[in-house]
């Protein structure tokens, strides 16, 4: 069985851990979001690729869902003593080594896909992890005004900031006017990405953020069409009208999509999505919406508990996604 998964960070990593438990013999390719990537202290940081790599490689921080286990922050303290910023993005000492190694390989001229393969040679995540593109794509958020910055007030059009600054520094507290994966139009899928999609038995969307994790992957030219040609089953990251962790509601608001399992399914749409897993508490609402809503026509919905508390609960969700994909593909 060949399965290809589009992936953000935490939601994807937890789902993938369940998928590996549910389908230990499947050949799994993960296409990771790189639009959250950022250069800090001269080092290239790829938060979503690393969340997947560390979690599946057994070195991730369980409670936080990102960064390394048993982490310390001595380097960050030294950098702060030099007055070097930014201070709002946490990088632990062990994590720093990954970014140093990545930057070293990139500066030798290797592409991000090659570098990711080299890093995964150590972590052995049990999946083939591919960045969505080797080209630079950066999610930028347009906000009206930016605290502690004066440019915003003089700019009636608002200001563009890096997604991480909006998300991590401002905690998405300033409403986003728009969220755009800048550079996606001119980017190409990384080597192996389109082949992994077309060669898969089916494609899965984990409960990753639809706007800033799955959205940028689909924005890379060629990927959306390749995915649409396959049987696709998605898992809702919205349960009972709220994201399970994080602030996905702020992202959905920016693109005018309601924070509900039904609205996210309609956002992907029947042209892309064949099956959709929702939590039991969203079943009635979704069926009601589906009954009269052409935006959801043809999307098969199944309801089950969607909280990924541990590996068994994540594996049950992954198994339900596999079962539905097989049913719809036959
Ligand atoms: P990020 O890049 O680290 O923000 O992670 P992702 O984009 O992969 O995933 C974030 C999404 O995962 C959030 O919108 C959450 O709603 C969703 N999520 C996190 N934990 C769970 C869970 O236990 N169950 C479900 N269904 N969704 C979850
Ligand atoms: Ca992310």
The pLDDT value given to residue 157: 65
Whether residue 154 is found in the same domain as residue 125? no
Task: Give the number of other CB atoms < 10 A from CB of residue 281.
Answer: 14
Instruction: Give domain status of residue 20, yes or no.
Output: no
Chain centroid offset of residue 168 CA: 15
- Report pLDDT digits (tens) over 267-322: 999 999 999 999 999 998 788 777 888 889 999 999 999 999 999 999 999 999 99
Q: Which atom of ligand 1 is nearest to the CA of 306?
A: 26
Residue 95: helix, strand or coil by DSSP? helix
3-class DSSP assignment, residue 92:
coil
pLDDT at position 210? 98
Ligand whose nearest atom lies closest to the CA of 303: 1
Gap between the Cα atoms of 235 and 103, Å rounded: 34
Half-sphere exposure of 256 (CA within 13 A, CB side): 1
66: CA distance to ligand 2 center in Å?
A: 10
Answer yes or no: do 42 and 119 share one domain: yes
Domain boundary among 116, 131, 146: 131
Residues 122 and 47 in one domain: yes
Q: Residues 99, 55: one domain? A: yes
> 152 and 82 share a domain?
no
Q: Which residues of the chain have pLDDT under 70?
A: 146-157
Ligand 2 centroid distance, CA of 48 (Å):
5
Backbone angles phi, psi at 244, to 5 degrees: -70, -45
| Ligand 1 lined by 60 (C-beta under 6 Å) | no
Separation CA 234–CA 202 (nearest Å):
11
Residue 177 belongs to what domain range?
138-182
Query: Which of the listed residues 6, 61, 208 should we mutate to test ligand 1's pocket, taking the one with most ligand atoms within 8 A of CB?
Result: 208
Domain count, the chain: 2
Which ligand is closest in space to the CA of residue 259? 1
Question: Which residues 6+ apart lie within 8 Å of 232 measured at CB?
Answer: 202, 203, 204, 205, 272, 273, 274, 275, 325
Query: What pLDDT, on a 0 to 100 scale, did the predictor assign at position 153?
Result: 43
59 and 144 inside one domain: no
- Ligand 2 centroid – CA 32 distance (Å): 9
CATH of the domain at 116: 1.10.8.240
The pLDDT value given to residue 314: 98
Tell me, yes or no, whether 152 lies in a domain. yes
Pair 75, 161 in one domain: no
Task: For ligand 1, say whether the CB of 213 is within 6 Å of any of its atoms.
Answer: yes
Mutate to test the pocket of ligand 1, among 245, 264, 313, 316 (most ligand atoms within 8 A of CB): 245
Tell me, yes or no, whether 103 lies in a domain.
yes
149 falls within a domain: yes
Kindly give the distance from the C-alpha atom of residue 278 to the centroid of ligand 1, in angstroms, as a whole number.
Answer: 13
Q: Quick one: pLDDT at residue 12?
A: 98
Q: Is the CB of 237 under 6 A from ligand 1?
A: yes
In a domain, 256, yes or no: no
Task: Kindly state whether residue 125 falls inside one of the protein's structural domains.
Answer: yes
Is 102 among the domain residues? yes
Give domain status of residue 74, yes or no: yes
Find out whether the beta carbon of 171 lies less than 6 Å from any atom of ligand 1: no
Both 111 and 55 in a single domain?
Answer: yes
**pLDDT at 150 (0 to 100):** 43
Query: Are residues 76 and 118 located together in one domain of the fold?
Result: yes
Same domain? For 126 and 144 the reply is no
How much is the pLDDT for 141? 97
Q: Cα(14) to centroid of ligand 2, in Å?
A: 13
112 and 172 belong to one structural domain: no
Ligand 2 center to residue 182 CA distance, Å? 15
Using DSSP's 3-state secondary structure scheme, residue 191 falls into coil
Structure tokens at 170: 């401002």
pTM of the model: 0.96
Whether residues 43 and 119 share a domain: the answer is yes
List beta partners, residue 32. 7, 131
């Amino acid at each position: 069985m060949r399965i290809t998964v589009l992936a953000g960070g935490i939601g994807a990593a937890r789902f993938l851990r369940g998928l590996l438990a549910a389908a230990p013999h499947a050949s799994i390719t993960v296409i990771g979001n790189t639009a959250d990537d950022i250069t800090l202290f001269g080092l290239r940081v790829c938060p979503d690729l690393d969340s997947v790599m560390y979690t599946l490689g057994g070195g991730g921080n369980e409670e936080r869902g990102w960064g390394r286990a048993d982490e310390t922050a001595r380097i960050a303290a030294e950098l702060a003593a030099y007055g070097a910023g930014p201070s709002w993005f946490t990088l632990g000492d062990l994590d720093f080594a990954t970014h140093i190694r990545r930057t070293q390989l990139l500066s030798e001229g290797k592409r991000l896909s090659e570098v990711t393969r080299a890093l995964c040679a150590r972590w052995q995540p049990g999946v083939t992890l591919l960045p969505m593109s080797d080209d630079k794509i950066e999610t930028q958020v347009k906000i009206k005004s930016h605290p502690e910055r004066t440019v915003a007030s003089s700019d009636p059009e608002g200001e563009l900031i890096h997604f991480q600054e909006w998300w991590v520094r401002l905690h998405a507290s300033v409403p986003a006017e728009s969220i755009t994966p800048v550079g996606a139009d001119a980017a190409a899928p990384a080597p192996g990405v389109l082949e992994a999609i077309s060669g898969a038995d089916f494609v899965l969307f984990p409960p990753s953020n639809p706007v800033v994790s799955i959205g940028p992957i689909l924005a890379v030219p060629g990927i959306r069409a390749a995915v649409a040609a396959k049987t696709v089953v998605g898992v809702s990251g919205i349960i009972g009208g709220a994201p399970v962790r994080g602030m996905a509601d702020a992202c959905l608001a920016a693109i005018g999509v309601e924070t509900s399992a039904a609205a996210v399914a309609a956002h992907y749409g029947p042209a892309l999505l064949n099956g959709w897993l929702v939590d039991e508490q969203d079943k009635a609402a979704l069926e009601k919406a589906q009954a009269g809503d052409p935006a959801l026509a043809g999307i098969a919905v199944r309801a089950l508990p969607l909280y990924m508390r541990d590996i068994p609960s994540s594996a049950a969700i992954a198994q339900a996604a596999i079962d539905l994909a097989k049913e719809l593909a036959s």
